[in-house]
Amino acid sequence: MRELFRWEQRLPLGAPLPRDAVGAWIAHREREWERLEGSDFVALPLPAAPADLDPFDVDAAAEPLAALGLAYGAGLAGRERPGFFLAELLERRELDDGVTVLVCGREHARGLFAPPAALLGRTIVLRRESFARWMWEKFEAFALKRPDGAFKAVVAAYGLDADFHAALPHMLDEQGETLLLHELGEHRVARRFEPGWAAMRLALPDRRTDLQVRAVRDLVADLETTLPTLLERGDATALHFWFSTFDGHRAALCPALPAAYDAWRQGGNAQALRATVERGRDHFDRLARELLALHAGRGDEAAGAIAELLSSPRAVLET
């Protein structure tokens, strides 16, 4: 909420926040959200677009908004939480995979949830402003204790300590491409796993299992696309950046990866890290297919077996 306040008031990254103003703003926001909760979505009021344009129809909204120099995103975070944004369109390009990439600048509208990158159908959006704010929050947390590890290597590579704001644009340029690789990996995984994967997630009754299932898919995307590409390029800084974001259920399911990274960072050969990536790719692809098979065979009754499998040692890739 504090970060959303800073964005809405157009305050610089790291600007001190007036406590009383933030408190009053949060109270107002919560009242407004409570008033809107349960309301139906309405059509997007776009010129040169159908009057009944669904707010989740990103593809239909793209062309009318691009003519105005704008980009729009809409989707669900998890299974229920909707997220939208409207931003300045900086760049549009097409990839060989049939994917369109939209690079977005200043955001004119957004919600509390603001991922720096997202796959929306066949469109990948890179949100530079959200990415910048995410990096500032990570840098603030890092500066408290300055722990050794992947993010410290990122700080050193870009000189964030010397002048964060001056170094930030270069970092966003380069590591935006790392975010793009993940979303491209997600697109490739979707071509194999959908629509079964979405149906499986909708049938899961608890948040923990849903987060674990999401982590499995993230791992497949990165182990098939992101990490092999970075290793092939020999891009050490991008590897540091990727591992600086590796946490939560992904790290719990794959402790072999950070162990291999630590050995590489301390002077080991990249071949050992590459071998772990290949082993992880095969492991999580099999696990993902097993999850899909459980759902296909048992339908909604598979939730318990899926949760049991994901909580078992068999799901984890150890060192």
Q: Give the model confidence (pLDDT) of 171-230 as tens digits.
A: 999 999 999 999 999 999 999 999 999 999 999 989 999 999 999 999 999 999 999 999
Domain that holds residue 25: 1-39
Same domain, 158 and 270: yes
Same domain, 213 and 285: yes
Same domain, 268 and 285: yes
Query: Does pLDDT of 306 surpass 80?
Result: yes
Give the residue from 152, 128, 180 showing the smallest Cα distance to 13.
Answer: 128
Q: Quick check: 5 and 26 in contact, CB under 8 A? A: yes
227 lies in some domain: yes
Same domain, 270 and 282: yes
135 lies in some domain: no
Count the neighbouring beta carbons within 10 Å of the beta carbon of residue 218.
Answer: 21
Same domain, 109 and 48: yes
Q: How far, in Å, CA of 27 to CA of 211, rounded? A: 30
Give residue 78's pLDDT. 60
Q: How far, in Å, CA of 22 to CA of 300, rounded? A: 44
133 lies in some domain: no
178 lies in some domain: yes
The first and second tokens of residue 279, run together, are 């082993």
Same domain, 114 and 236: no
Same domain, 250 and 310: yes
Same domain, 152 and 276: yes
Query: Does pLDDT of 15 surpass 90?
Result: no
Domain count, the chain: 3
Mean pLDDT estimate for the chain: 93
Same domain, 185 and 112: no
The first and second tokens of residue 4, run together, are 């959303």
Please indicate whether residue 288 or residue 64 has the higher confidence score (pLDDT).
288
134 lies in some domain: no
139 lies in some domain: no
> Whats the size of the chain, residue-wise?
319
Same domain, 59 and 185: no
Same domain, 21 and 95: no
Cα distances (Å, whole numbers) of residue 311 to 212, 228, 249, 250, 315: 9, 27, 11, 13, 7
Label residues 3-24 b or e (16+ Cβ within 10 Å = b). bbbbbeeeeebeeeeeeeeeee
136 lies in some domain: no
- Helices assigned H by DSSP within the chain: 2-8, 19-36, 58-66, 128-145, 150-158, 164-193, 196-202, 207-221, 227-233, 236-244, 248-253, 256-265, 270-298, 303-310
**Which of 97, 128, 159 is where one domain is finished?**
128
Tens-digit pLDDT profile for residues 122-181: 889 999 999 999 999 999 999 999 999 999 999 999 999 999 999 999 999 999 999 999
Q: Mean of the pLDDT values across residues 230-251?
A: 97
The pTM of this model reads 0.92
Burial class (CB in 10 A: 0-12, 13-18, 19+), 238: buried
User: What angle separates helix 236-244 from helix 164-193, to the nearest 10 degrees?
Assistant: 80
Give residue 310's pLDDT. 97
141 lies in some domain: no
Same domain, 192 and 179: yes
